[in-house]
A and B are shown apart, each in its own frame.
Chain A
């Protein structure tokens, strides 16, 4: 979603990151029941998710506050670095 906004809609990096996070909310809500109800067995571990959430909500608040404190160009380079690492991992060892 981030590259679509940057290159097709001409949105700034800052807005693209924030918009993307808002858009993830309905997408995740729609996809969760598919993994829980429509598989041969429920593919959701709520116990593990709970502990991830305890850390991640604190992290998400800190990350969102951080975005306005780092220059746009550096934000773009950090996004590129994360995409590169995850992309290479998926290509080499999917």
Chain B
């Protein structure tokens, strides 16, 4: 085992925690570790992340089922739809420059982040409004 293998285990641990906690896949958690940390090219990082995410998602998913966090029907429908979407995405990726795809994807993530913060703040405000006043 080399230093690089040890660092891969640590990187995997961090990506696994994020993946199990947030429910994100290899694209978000594993790919940056390989492209930024280990200088993998984008395609090799994406392919390797797919191999790593399968057992990771199975362990995280089974734990979530046991914790009662999963709505199994919708999750399986979404997985089925995702398979079709992944194939369409792969075909699209072959015709659109990778840099444009990455920027559009990044902009979508940033907008989603802002909307999530807005929702969280609104929920906190609503909860405050409903709380009984101290006498």
A residues lining the B interface (CB < 8 Å): 1-3, 5-7, 9, 11, 14-32, 34-36, 39, 42-46, 48-49, 51-68, 72-73, 75-84, 86-92, 94
Contacts and interface: CB of A to CB of B under 8 A. Distances in A.
Contact of A43 (B19, B25, B44): B44
Contacts of A9: 74
Interface in B104-135: 105-117, 119-120, 123-124
B63 A51 contact: no
Given A3-B112, A78-B22, A94-B99, A57 B82 contact: no
Given A21-B61, A35-B43, A11 B74 contact: yes
- Chain B facing A: main interface SS: helix
Given A82-B22, A82-B28, 9 more contacts: A1-B78, A28-B54, A35-B47, A45-B40, A48-B8, A55-B9, A63-B22, A88-B110, A90-B109
B113 A91 contact: no
B96 interface: no
A88 B50 contact: no
Given A55-B9, A58-B13, A90-B102, A65 B113 contact: no
Given A82-B28, A87-B107, A55 B79 contact: no
Contact of A15 (B22, B71, B85, B87): B71
A86 B32 contact: yes
A39 B124 CA distance: 49
A7 B5 CA distance: 40
